[in-house]
C-alpha cells in the first residue's frame, strides 16, 4: 500500500500557492463597484451587463469597454475560486494531520511474538516485504571478472569508484538494494544491471545503470542498445529504470544521483 503523504502535502502546498496568488490579485480590482456582471447572448453575440449591489436595474456595458468587462469577469472567477479553495485547504490540512497509513504495520509490529505467531496480518509488514524482496533478488550474478575491485561499506566488491559511492549511499540511507542482479530481457537474454533498488513506499523495484565511459563512442553505442532493450522489456526510463552518467571530463554528479533517487523512491 503506497503512502501518499508526500503527494498530499505537495497538492496542499499547490492549493495554498493558488490562494496566495488570488489574494494578491485582489489589488487589481480596487476601485471597481461591488456587484455582478451578467452575460447574455443576442444572435450568438455575447452581451454584458453590470448590476451594482442593491440595484435592481442592470447597466449595459458597451463592447468598446472590453478591458472593464474582462476585469469584472476575472474578479468574479477569482472570488468564486477563493470561496471553493479556502475550505478545501482546511479539509486537506485536517486530513493530512490524521493521515497515518503506517499505523497498519504498527498494530502488528507492536504485538508480542506469541500473538504474531497466531496472526495472519492484513498485509505484509514493511520488514516482511523487504525480506521477500531480498529473497527474490539475489545479487552478484554477473560472472564477468572485476578488473579493479572496490569494496563497499556493506562488504561487496563493485567495479568502479562511482558504483561504490552509489552503493554506500544506498546502504547509509537504509535503502534495500542488490548489486548486479540478473534481469531477463524480452528477447530471453540475461543481463545484469548495476543495481536493483526496492522502493518500500511504492512497493516496486527500480533498476539502476551507471554509465561511466560515455565519452567512449563504442561504449556509449553499446549501452544505448542496452537501455533500448530495457525499455522494450517493460522498464520505463525515469521511473523503473534510472541511469547516471560520467566521463573523464565530467565525473559523477552525486547531487543529481540523490535527486533521482529521492524522486523515484
Residue-range definition of the domain harbouring residue 13: 5-98
* CA gap 138, 134 in Å, rounded: 7
* Confidence check: pLDDT of 196 > 90: yes
Residues whose CB is less than 8 angstroms from the CB of residue 187 and which lie 6 or more positions away in sequence, other chains included: 229, 232
Confirm whether 178 is domain-assigned. yes
* Confidence check: pLDDT of 126 > 90: no
Q: Are residues 94 and 142 in the same domain?
A: no
Q: Are residues 78 and 160 in the same domain?
A: no
* CA gap 251, 162 in Å, rounded: 9
Q: Are 167 and 151 in contact (CB under 8 A)?
A: no
Q: Are residues 152 and 260 in the same domain?
A: yes
Q: Which one of 98, 117, 147 terminates a domain?
A: 98
* CA gap 108, 116 in Å, rounded: 7
Q: Tens digits of per-residue pLDDT, 249-265? A: 777 787 888 888 888 88
The count of structural domains within the chain is: 2
Q: Are residues 148 and 221 in the same domain?
A: yes
Q: Tens digits of per-residue pLDDT, 140-149? A: 777 777 667 8
Higher pLDDT: 253 or 206? It is 206
Q: Tens digits of per-residue pLDDT, 21-70? A: 999 999 999 888 898 889 999 888 899 999 999 888 898 988 788 888 88
Spell out a b/e string for 167-196, using b for 16 or more CB atoms within 10 Å of the CB, else e: bbbbbeeebbbbbbbebeeeeeeebbbbbb
Give me 2's grid cell.
503506497
> Does pTM top 0.95 for this prediction?
no
Confirm whether 69 is domain-assigned. yes
* CA gap 93, 78 in Å, rounded: 22
Q: Are residues 152 and 253 in the same domain?
A: yes
* CA gap 203, 193 in Å, rounded: 19
CATH of the domain at 241: 3.40.1350
Amino acid at each position: 500500500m503506497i503512502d501518499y503523504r508526500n503527494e498530499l502535502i505537495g497538492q496542499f502546498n499547490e492549493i495554498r500557492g493558488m490562494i496566495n496568488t488570488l489574494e494578491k490579485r485582489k489589488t487589481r480590482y480596487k476601485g471597481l463597484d461591488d456587484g455582478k456582471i451578467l452575460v447574455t447572448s443576442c444572435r450568438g453575440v455575447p452581451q454584458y451587463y453590470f448590476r451594482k449591489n442593491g440595484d435592481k436595474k442592470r447597466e449595459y456595458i458597451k463592447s468598446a469597454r472590453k478591458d472593464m468587462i474582462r476585469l469584472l469577469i476575472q474578479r468574479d472567477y477569482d472570488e468564486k475560486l477563493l470561496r471553493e479553495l479556502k475550505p478545501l485547504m482546511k479539509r486537506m490540512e485536517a486530513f493530512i494531520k490524521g493521515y497515518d497509513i503506517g499505523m497498519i504495520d504498527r498494530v502488528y509490529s507492536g504485538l508480542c511474538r506469541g500473538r504474531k505467531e497466531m496472526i495472519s496480518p492484513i498485509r505484509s509488514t514493511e520488514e516482511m516485504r523487504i525480506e521477500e524482496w531480498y529473497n527474490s533478488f539475489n545479487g552478484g550474478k554477473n560472472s564477468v571478472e572485476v578488473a579493479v575491485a572496490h569494496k563497499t561499506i556493506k562488504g561487496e566488491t563493485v567495479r568502479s569508484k562511482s558504483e561504490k559511492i552509489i552503493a554506500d549511499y544506498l546502504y547509509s540511507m537504509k535503502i534495500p538494494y542488490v548489486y548486479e542482479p540478473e534481469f531477463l530481457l524480452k528477447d530471453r537474454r540475461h543481463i545484469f544491471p548495476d543495481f536493483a533498488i526496492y522502493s518500500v513506499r511504492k512497493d516496486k523495484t527500480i533498476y539502476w545503470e551507471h554509465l561511466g565511459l560515455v565519452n567512449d563512442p563504442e561504449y556509449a553505442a553499446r549501452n544505448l542498445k542496452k537501455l533500448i532493450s530495457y525499455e522494450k522489456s517493460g522498464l520505463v526510463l525515469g521511473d523503473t529504470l534510472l541511469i547516471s552518467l560520467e566521463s573523464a571530463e565530467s565525473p559523477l554528479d552525486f547531487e543529481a544521483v540523490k535527486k533521482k533517487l529521492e524522486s523515484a523512491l
